């Protein structure tokens, strides 16, 4: 996983652009942090002359545009930190280079310095605010940090790395109560009480019980005890008044009650490890890491890993933690999609019928006088030939009217109102249809990618089992 941050680098007061750039780039490319420059890469610039080249680009920008905004940003830095032990310096540098290239779209020169002096490997990606053509500047935009983190997550997934699991808003609460602190003395007291529960015959037998539990005992003027993970002995009297040698002897002899137990210490027998709830995204990332050096790499070469990475983020963002939930969402979105499609088609059919009836009404009105004259002519063939088109339209209109419910002809105004209503319903349904169509497509792609991954993972496991069998046979 990689945590990212976008930082704007401004010119310091009283210092030149060159000096400011040199300070930032020198720190990023520090030989003690990058193993003498072993883990430094660049795009469209020379790391040794990066401050000079960045400053020269700004001079060309001023010459071309004559613009010099007040408080200008001279460069931007992307800090990209990885989970300890998950990535090599070489791969971290490659991930950083891809991040810089895709975030700037190859329009800005940049360097990538991978620091290996900490437990967590991290990148310093510094890119010039002025583009390569020296006619534009990169400007920070709304939610750029979110966009950068998403891009970084996609690239990490493409490389078989994990991504940061976003906690639910309800879980993002500050801890107001700290758990009770359990000291080594508390543990020793508890173990002494367990020895007392075994009813030792005397103090010496109790000490033997403690030694059997892994404790060291030192006898002298003051008896002392030392645990497995302790460096120094602790005198019994320093454990408290109830645990002095004299009082413990009295407890064993029955002359005094046993000390009360510490409620802070849980009973180890009753404490059961909480079973981790299955999480689809976490499981996929773990299997990616397991097959990273073999099966996953071969699968990634054949498959669209970018699309797969986007699907993993999609599952994470939509709080989908198991395949059953994903299958249910696919089925639900598909049902909604087909229901909306039917609504739109029904509305379109009704609109077509509405238009046809309105056309028949208009044609009937226009040809009514002609048809009356045709009827008065005794349906003369000569009249029919002279007015065939009009008579045909009139007959078609009457035939359509006869098919209407109860043969009632609606008013044109009512038809216009109905058409407007149907059009409004269609538009509303279509807007929802486009939304549901995209959701259905995203769910289906995610499901397809998940199924493809698990099918491939079974193949990796089969390969590993076969290798183990062959090694055993040798």
Find the CATH number of the domain harbouring 59.
3.30.930.30
**Residue 301: pLDDT band with limits 50, 70, 90:** low
- Same domain as 345, residue 205: no
Mean predicted confidence (pLDDT) in 80-107: 92
What integer pLDDT is reported at residue 296 of this predicted model? 63
Same structural domain, 143 and 190: no
Q: What is the pLDDT of residue 269?
A: 46
Q: CA nearest 354: which of 402, 414, 429, 398? A: 414
pLDDT of the residue at 238: 83
Q: In this structure, is residue 132 part of a structural domain?
A: yes
- 420 and 381 in a single domain? The answer is yes
One domain for residues 218 and 120:
no
Dig out the tokens for 372 from the structure: 């009356």
The reply to whether 246 and 339 lie within a common domain is no
Q: Looking at residue 292, what is its pLDDT?
A: 60
Whether the predicted pLDDT of 293 surpasses 80: no
Question: Is 243 inside any structural domain?
Answer: yes
Instruction: Tell whether 267 is covered by a domain.
Output: no
Token pair listed for 146: 């979110």
* 34 plus 125 within the same structural domain: yes
Indicate the average pLDDT of the chain: 84
Same domain, 38 and 141: yes
Longest dimension (CA), the chain: 143
Q: How many domains does the chain have?
A: 3
Is 21 part of any domain? yes
Q: Do 158 and 189 fall into the same domain?
A: no
* 8 A C-beta contact, residue 210 and residue 191: yes
- 232: domain range? 184-253
Q: Under 8 Å CB-to-CB from 194, ≥6 apart: which residues?
A: none
Q: How confident is residue 339, by pLDDT bands cut at 50, 70 and 90?
A: very high
Residues 395 and 337 in one domain: yes
Query: Are 22 and 133 in a shared domain?
Result: yes
Q: Is the pLDDT of residue 419 over 50?
A: yes
Q: Is 288 part of any domain?
A: no
241 versus 293: which is more confidently predicted? 241
Q: Is 446 a member of any domain? A: no
Q: Span 404-413, mean pLDDT?
A: 84
Show which of 164, 194, 219 is a domain's final residue.
164
253, 277, 307 - which closes a domain: 253
Residue 310 belongs to a domain: no
Domain boundary among 253, 275, 309: 253
Strand arrangement of the beta sheet that strand 110-115 belongs to: 2-10, 73-82, 122-128, 110-115, 40-43
Residue 223 lies in a domain: yes
Higher pLDDT, 290 or 259: 259
Pair (19, 143) in one structural domain: yes
Residue 201 and residue 113 in one domain: no
Q: How many Cβ atoms sit within 10 Å of the Cβ of residue 169?
A: 7
């Amino acid at each position: 996983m990689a945590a990212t941050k976008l930082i704007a680098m401004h010119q310091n007061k009283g210092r030149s652009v060159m000096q400011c750039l040199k300070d930032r780039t020198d720190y990023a490319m520090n030989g003690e942090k990058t193993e003498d420059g072993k883990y430094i890469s660049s795009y469209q610039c020379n790391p040794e002359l990066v401050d000079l080249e960045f400053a020269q680009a700004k001079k060309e920008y001023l010459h071309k545009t004559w613009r010099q905004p007040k408080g200008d940003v001279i460069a931007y830095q992307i800090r990209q930190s990885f989970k300890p032990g998950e990535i090599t310096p070489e791969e971290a540098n490659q991930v950083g280079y891809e991040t810089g290239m895709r975030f700037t779209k190859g329009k800005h020169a940049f360097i990538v310095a991978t620091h290996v002096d900490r437990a967590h490997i991290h990148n310093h990606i510094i890119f010039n605010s002025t583009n390569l053509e020296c006619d534009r500047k990169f400007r920070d935009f709304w939610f750029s940090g979110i966009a950068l983190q998403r891009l970084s997550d996609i690239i990490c997934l493409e490389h078989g790395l994990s991504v940061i699991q976003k906690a639910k808003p309800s879980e993002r609460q500050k801890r107001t109560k700290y758990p009770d602190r359990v000291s080594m003395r508390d543990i020793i007291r508890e173990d002494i009480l367990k020895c007392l529960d075994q009813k030792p015959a005397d103090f010496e037998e109790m000490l033997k019980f403690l030694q059997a539990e892994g404790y060291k005992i030192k006898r002298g003027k003051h008896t002392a005890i030392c645990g497995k993970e302790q460096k120094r002995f602790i005198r019994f009297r320093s454990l408290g008044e109830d645990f002095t040698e004299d009082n413990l002897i009295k407890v064993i002899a029955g002359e005094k009650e046993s000390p009360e137990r510490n409620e802070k210490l849980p009973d180890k027998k009753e404490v059961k490890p909480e079973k981790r709830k299955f999480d689809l995204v976490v499981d996929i990332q773990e299997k990616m890491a397991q097959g990273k050096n073999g099966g996953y790499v071969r699968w990634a070469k054949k498959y669209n890993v970018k699309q797969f990475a986007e699907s993993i983020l999609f599952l994470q963002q939509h709080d989908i933690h198991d395949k059953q939930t994903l299958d249910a969402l696919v089925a639900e979105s598909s049902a909604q999609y087909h229901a909306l499609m039917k609504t739109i088609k029904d509305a379109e059919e009704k609109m077509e019928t509405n238009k046809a009836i309105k056309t028949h009404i208009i044609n009937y009105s226009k040809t009514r006088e002609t048809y009356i004259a045709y009827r008065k002519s005794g349906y003369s063939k000569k009249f029919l030939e002279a007015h065939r088109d009009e008579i045909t339209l009139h007959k078609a209109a009457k035939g359509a009217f006869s098919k209407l419910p109860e043969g009632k002809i609606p008013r044109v105004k009512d038809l216009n109102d109905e058409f407007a209503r149907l059009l409004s319903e269609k538009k509303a349904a279509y807007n929802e249809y486009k939304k549901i169509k995209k959701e259905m497509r995203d769910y289906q792609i995610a499901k397809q990618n998940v199924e493809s991954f698990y099918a491939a993972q079974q193949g990796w496991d089969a390969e590993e089992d076969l290798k183990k069998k062959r090694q055993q046979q040798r």
